[in-house]
Amino acid sequence: MPFSRILIYICLFFLAGIALNSLILVPQIFMLGLFVLGLGMISMFWKKDKKIVIAGLCLLVFAIGIFRHQMFDRPEDNLDYYSKIQNVKSQSIQNFNDRGNFVYLKIASFKSRLENSLDSSLSPPHSSILGALMLGEKTVSGEDRLSWDLKQKLNKSGTRHITSISGMNIVILANILIGLGLILGLWRGQAFYFALVFIILYIIMVGAPPSAIRAGIMGGIVFFAQKVGRLSQAHRLLIIAATLMLAFNPLLLKFDIGFQLSFLATLGIAKLYPYLREKLSFIPKKFDILEMQSTVSMTIPAIIFTAPILAYNFGQFSIVSIFTNILVVPILGLVLGLGFFAGIAGIIFQPLGQIFFWPVWLFLEYVYKIIDWSSKLPFASMEVAVFPWYLVFLYFALLWWGIKYFRLEA
């Protein structure tokens, strides 16, 4: 058995240990029994039966996963978890300010000036959508950019993800930026690095929170695998990356919705993107300047893989999500690129920024109209009063079976 496969087995059993203890509090005597059994299998069959040794190692890692999760205090629910995270974040920011951290203060100052440039040139809901797309849903002062009404429209249309940084958004945005680079006259190789630099600057500019860094890592894995033509191996790298993240903070698996969505969306892209792109090969590449073929091929699997998580956490499932995202997502890279350019122009000279914001407003008007129209459809979304966790597992089991049975994967 190759080492790469053994490593994946070890990662999966470690994740399984964390998952089990996330659902139920595993008795320590059971955990100790697994640990001893694993050690016994390794020591007794060392150099005799490689498969039994590997099985023992997996049991050992499974017990370690349980133990690692039990090292952390269990939050009562998602709200309690995010409250603790916010307290830690606020304390970290205060420590940075107390020490006068130069980089952090410069980033915060630039974000504040960019916000002012945007708000002075656009009005809600256009400024709200662009501000959330560029800088996240929170302002520098911690207030919500999005009104309750706009959030409901985003939820019903299945486009709430465009206002957050996730692995899915990183991958899709990177491909759209490649299309933008091609429009600007770059070669495809140059456009790749143009998109990569833009994504790194984007993550830094929003403050490089842990959620953005995790999304960047997961999205970067798929993006790079696509670049080198090894997308079929991207899911293995995702599993390794998730293992390292959960080894650092195992509470992410159950309580951090952003982690769940980033991992599942990028996993869906890694598994189904090549199949869907082949089905969309009728789109001529020379006319596909906005990378519509790639964007649609990534949007559909990301939505399919994240649907049960959204239903489980928010009690709502958007029926029009795929249709709306196909209409909206392909132009987001153009909106983001032009929005940054206009925002920086506004920082330098406000009247100049207002001129450059006119084409941005036209694209944002299109985005808002699609979101508003689709959210008002009588069948736009379905309320899910109860969506238990075992249905989530059943959904993914059937999805995985369907991918294997119909040979839809890379």
DSSP, residue by residue, 118-130: HHHH--TTHHHHH
- Residue 137 counted as domain residue: no
User: Sorting pLDDT into bands at 50, 70 and 90, what band is 182?
Assistant: confident
Amino acid at 252: L
The lowest-confidence range among 23-37, 51-65, 167-181, 370-384 is 167-181
Q: Name the residue among 334, 333, 342 with its Cα closest to residue 119.
A: 342
Confidence label for 15 from pLDDT (cuts 50, 70 and 90): very high
Same domain, 230 and 346: yes
Q: What's at 81, amino acid-wise?
A: Y
Residue range 28-40: mean pLDDT, rounded: 93
Query: Average pLDDT in the 192-209 region?
Result: 79
Share of the chain above pLDDT 90, in %: 32
Q: Quick one: which H or E segment has residue 383?
A: strand 381-383
Q: Using alpha carbons only, what angle is made at residue 7 by residues 4 and 13, rounded to the nearest 5 degrees? A: 145
pLDDT of residue 149: 93
Give the contacts of 78 (CB within 8 A, at least 6 positions apart): 255, 257, 313
Residue 38 has pLDDT above 90, yes or no: yes
Q: Which positions ≥6 away from 293 have C-beta within 8 Å? A: 277, 280, 281, 283, 285
Write down the pLDDT at residue 172: 73
- Cα dist from 298 to 168, 196, 269, 341, whole Å: 8, 18, 5, 26
**258 assigned to some structural domain:** yes
Q: Is it the case that residue 97 has pLDDT exceeding 60?
A: no
Is residue 279 predicted with pLDDT exceeding 90?
Answer: no
Number of domains in the chain: 2
C-alpha span between 60 and 38 (Å, rounded): 5
Tell me which residue has tokens 């499932």.
317
Residue 227 lies in a domain: yes
- Is there a domain that residue 28 lies in? yes
Q: How far apart are CA 211 and CA 208, in angstroms?
A: 8
**pLDDT confidence bin for 239, thresholds 50/70/90:** very high
**Is residue 324 very low, low, confident or very high in pLDDT (cuts 50, 70, 90)?**
very high
Average pLDDT estimate for 144-173:
83
Say if CB 69 and CB 18 are below 8 A apart.
yes
Supply 46's token pair: 């060392």
> Do residues 260 and 311 touch, judged by C-beta distance below 8 A?
no
Same domain, 158 and 42: no
Q: Look at residue 96 and tell me whether its pLDDT is greater than 70.
A: no
Question: Is 63:10 a contact under the CB 8 Å cutoff?
Answer: no
Q: How far is CA 307 from the centre of its chain?
A: 13
Mean of the pLDDT values across residues 365-392?
88
Claim to verify: residue 251 and residue 394 sit in the same structural domain = yes
**Residue 278 sits in the same domain as residue 376:** yes
Q: Domain check: are 301 and 193 in the same one?
A: yes
Q: Do both 46 and 176 map to the same domain?
A: no
- Per-residue confidence (pLDDT) for residue 270, from 0 to 100: 87
| Residue linked to tokens 């209409």 | 327
The yes-or-no verdict on residue 105 having pLDDT over 60 is yes
Q: Which residues of 380-395 are buried (b: 16+ CB within 10 A; e: fewer)?
A: bbeeeeebeeeebeeb
Q: Environment class of residue 404 by beta-carbon count within 10 Å: exposed (0-12), middle (13-18) or buried (19+)?
A: exposed
Domain C-terminal end among 70, 91, 116: 70
Of 252 and 219, the structure prediction assigns the larger pLDDT to: 252
Are residues 287 and 165 both part of a single domain?
yes
Do the domain assignments include residue 165? yes
| Model pLDDT, residue 89 | 58
- Give the pair of three-digit tokens for residue 283: 């789109």
Task: Report residue 85 as tokens.
Answer: 């995270």
The stretch 3-30 carries a mean pLDDT of 93
Torsion of CA 357, 358, 360, 366, to 10 degrees: 150
- Identify whether residues 63 and 161 lie together within a single domain: no
Strand partners, 316: 383
Domain C-terminal end among 36, 70, 104: 70
**Residue 139 included in any domain:** no
To the nearest whole number, what is the mean pLDDT of the chain? 84
Let me know if residue 81 belongs to a domain. Answer: no
User: Is the per-residue pLDDT at 235 higher than 80?
Assistant: yes
pLDDT band at 17 (very low <50, low <70, confident <90, very high): very high
Q: Is residue 195 part of a domain?
A: yes
CA distance 186 to 207: 29
Burial grade of 322 (CB within 10 A; 0-12, 13-18, 19 or more): middle
* 46, 70, 94 - which closes a domain: 70
Measure Cα distances from 339 to 45, 127, 348 in Å: 62, 10, 14
Are 52 and 172 in a shared domain? no
- Give the C-alpha separation, 207 to 201, whole Å: 10
Higher-pLDDT residue of 158 and 207 is 158
The pLDDT of residue 307 is above 70: yes
Question: What is the reported pLDDT for 285?
Answer: 61
| Domain co-membership, 353 together with 221 | yes
Is the pLDDT at 99 greater than 70, yes or no?
Answer: no
Encoding tokens for residue 301? Answer: 């699997």
Identify whether the C-beta of residue 334 lies closer than 8 Å to the C-beta of residue 176. Answer: yes
Q: Residue 30: give the domain boundaries.
A: 3-70
Residue with more model confidence, 183 or 394: 394
Q: Is the pLDDT of residue 369 over 90?
A: yes
